[in-house]
Amino acid sequence: MVGFLFAGQGSQYVGMGKDLYESFPEARKVFDRAEELVGFELKRICFNGPEDILKSTNVSQPAIVTASIAAYEVFKTKSNLVPSFAAGLSLGEYSALIAAGSLTFDNGIRLIQKRGQIMEEASRKHPGKMAAVLELPLETLRDICLQSGAEIANLNCPGQVVITGKAEAVDQAMELCGKAGAKRVIPLEVSGGFHSSLMSEASVELKLALDNISVSEPRIPVVSNYTAQPQYKTGQIIENLVHQIRGSVRWEESMRFILSEGVTSFIEFGPGKVLKGLMRRIDSNAQVINIDKSADIDQLS
């Protein structure tokens, strides 16, 4: 049994998707259509940068999903493999829903562009930050969040948790984590306190956006970041996406659920190898291959 995984925000890099675009008409079709939809030079920014523009939330979100779906569409020309489950890390959940047929590509890109704009606006109104905490017991970290007012953003894998919230709360939590024995505490280069209560207004706006597009039942089960369980009904998918923007990403639990269902191999679509790295910490026996560049496709032949 196989699971499909889709990259999340932060995995972007200058040059992503370029050789797929140059090598495969399926990738060209995806990038060309995305650029029409977003109304800015998506390809130029993905392929040539500059990096500071690419990593801005309202650009990186549609860019990563475009690169991920381009890789997925090229993969489909080489393989008829049908996964047992799909999942994506935060933003990647939208790519998973597109691949599963729950969102059309057009609607997905429009929704993701809106999500990025909503999150950027929320970040300006309610400034925040995020930080990765390595090798600190989760219960200790939960206590620190209670003391500081920080929140848990991502439960990525054993020994790696991301905290979020108001800048002063995260700064205090980072200091407390260091004193409590965390191996490392790393500020993340993001523009706000995502997956926190600072995104409450954004979740209301996202619900309005979701109410105005068509969402279908997925052809394959997509495991929700919010519940760490498969979602099958459109109402359930919409509700989970609304909660996801302000709630914790339960990635480790999501992967453990998929593994418990008998999945032993995974394909990660999109830029980077972040999810492969996380899986190595969750279950070192699981096999993960990445589809990011044309060389990855060539290895399938």
- Catalytic residue positions, numbered: 90, 195
Q: Distance between CA atoms of 272 and 270, rounded to whole angstroms? A: 7
CA dihedral angle for residue 162, residue 241, residue 55, residue 196, rounded to 10 degrees: -40
**Residue 4, amino acid:** F
Q: Are 216 and 84 in contact (CB under 8 A)?
A: no
Q: Distance between CA atoms of 212 and 30, rounded to whole angstroms? A: 23
Q: Distance between CA atoms of 57 and 48, rounded to whole angstroms? A: 17
Beta bridge partners of 133: 161, 185
| Tokens, residue 185 | 């505490």
CA 263, distance to chain mean position in Å, is 20
Q: Are 3 and 87 in contact (CB under 8 A)?
A: yes
Cis status of the peptide bond prior to 50, with omega within 30 of 0: yes
Instruction: Kindly give, in sequence order, each residue whose CB lies less than 8 Å from that of residue 2, ignoring residues fewer than 6 positions away.
Output: 81, 83, 84, 263, 265, 266, 267
